[in-house]
Amino acid sequence: MEKVMSDPRPAKQPWNKSSKLASFKGLRGFSDATLVFGSLLLAAAVFSLLLSVLWSVISAGSGAMSAEFIYQNNRYISTTTSLDYGGVGHAILGTLELVLLATAVALPLGLAIAVYLTQSQSKLRNMVRAITQALAGLPSVVSGLFVLSIISFLDAQKSGIFGAVALFPLMLPTVARVAEEALRLVPQDLRLAALGLGAPNYRAFFQVILPAAKTGIITALLLGLARVVGETAPLILTIQANEGTNLNPLEGGVATLPTYIYGFISAGYASSITRAWGASLVLLIIVGILFVTARLLTGDKKKKKSKGSK
């Protein structure tokens, strides 16, 4: 009788589709869980860093905060004067003055650029968009140096108006890009419906498209303000220091919160450093008020839309 030789190799198991699929799902679930955990860990790290910065500003700046610190100026104050005297009132007014001057030009011009890029079919759109993107990467000190060269060429005195001119090219590309995106997000059906009712293009834009993009335009304005409200380098180069209140941007020096912080932190005295931290806290509060106000306006608009849809 012939001996039956047994095969030492293990018998092949039949392919089980469900088991392979379950294994694949398990690996995918593990990868997803790892990605989620890593994202949460990174978000927690960024959030803790943000909280540490906020806590540093609040804890160090609260020592200078008082009613007098908010509205008084530093006309008779030195870097070693007690914190009971002097404040940032003149710097707050100067900051608002320069930012409003820059906004008065950057907002309408940025909105006009956004309208041109979204509504026009001209071949120059790509060139305009490229110039806007190039301005977005412009270092703030370069803007300050450019305006400083204009001051030297004109043999003029540094003043608030030149500081506003230096802030303008820094604010313009942010307003233009965000406003462009806001206009592009407006449904095309709204414009077509207005045109279908016989409205000309300009009326369709001003009465339909522009109101629909109002929230995005407010966001563009806020981001533009956030871009320039804390700028220091262009203002150091283009405006004169002033320890008093000056509401005339065409003549004399103007104090701003960034230059106030720079001047007192550079002095190195304990009282001057505390004043700089206090000014930083005031600047943080101003920016927070702007964003909260915009958020409330945006929320009111969403509520009106939801009520109208019902």
CA nearest neighbour of 147 among 79, 47, 62, 234:
234
Q: Is residue 40 part of a domain?
A: no
Q: Is the pLDDT of residue 218 over 60?
A: yes
CA nearest neighbour of 54 among 269, 216, 288:
288
| pLDDT for res 183 | 87
| pLDDT for res 162 | 93
| pLDDT for res 1 | 42
Q: Is residue 12 part of a domain?
A: no
| pLDDT for res 112 | 92
CA nearest neighbour of 273 among 287, 285, 284, 263:
263
Structure-model confidence comparison of residues 243 and 97, the more confident one? 97
Q: Please, are residues 64 and 83 in contact by the beta-carbon 8 Å criterion?
A: yes
**Which positions ≥6 away from 119 have C-beta within 8 Å?**
183, 201, 205
Measured distance CA(177)–CA(136) in Å, rounded = 9
Phi/psi region, residue 198 (left: phi>0; alpha: psi -120 to 50; beta: rest), is: left
pTM for the model? 0.76
Q: Is residue 73 part of a domain?
A: no
Query: What tokens were used for 149?
Result: 């060269």
* Average pLDDT of the residues in 256-264: 89
Measured distance CA(65)–CA(168) in Å, rounded = 31
State the pLDDT confidence band at 163, using cuts at 50, 70 and 90.
Answer: very high
Q: What is the CATH number of the domain that holds 252?
A: 1.10.3720.10
Q: Is the pLDDT of residue 196 over 90?
A: no
Q: Is the pLDDT of residue 166 over 90?
A: yes
Domain containing residue 173: 90-309
Q: Is residue 112 part of a domain?
A: yes
* Average pLDDT of the residues in 133-140: 88
Q: Is residue 275 part of a domain?
A: yes
Mean pLDDT of the chain: 81
Q: Is the pLDDT of residue 11 over 70?
A: no
| pLDDT for res 296 | 74
Q: Is the pLDDT of residue 119 over 90?
A: no
Structure-model confidence comparison of residues 23 and 233, the more confident one? 233
| pLDDT for res 99 | 92
CA nearest neighbour of 147 among 231, 53, 44:
231
| pLDDT for res 195 | 72
For residue 140, give the DSSP letter. Answer: H
Q: Please, are residues 241 and 77 in contact by the beta-carbon 8 Å criterion?
A: no
Q: Is the pLDDT of residue 171 over 90?
A: yes
Q: Is the pLDDT of residue 308 over 50?
A: no
Q: Is residue 171 part of a domain?
A: yes
* Average pLDDT of the residues in 54-72: 86
Highest mean pLDDT, choosing among 161-165, 295-299, 302-306:
161-165
Neighbours of 146 (CB within 10 A): 16
Neighbours of 47 (CB within 10 A): 10
Q: Is residue 50 part of a domain?
A: no
CA nearest neighbour of 194 among 170, 215, 210, 214:
210
CA nearest neighbour of 264 among 282, 287, 252, 288:
282
18-59 pLDDT, tens digit each = 554 455 455 566 677 788 888 889 999 999 998 998 898 888
Q: Is residue 70 part of a domain?
A: no
| pLDDT for res 39 | 87
Q: Is the pLDDT of residue 134 over 80?
A: yes
Query: What tokens were used for 196?
Result: 């279908």
Neighbours of 303 (CB within 10 A): 10
**Total tally of structural domains belonging to the chain:** 1
Query: What tokens were used for 295?
Result: 């958020």
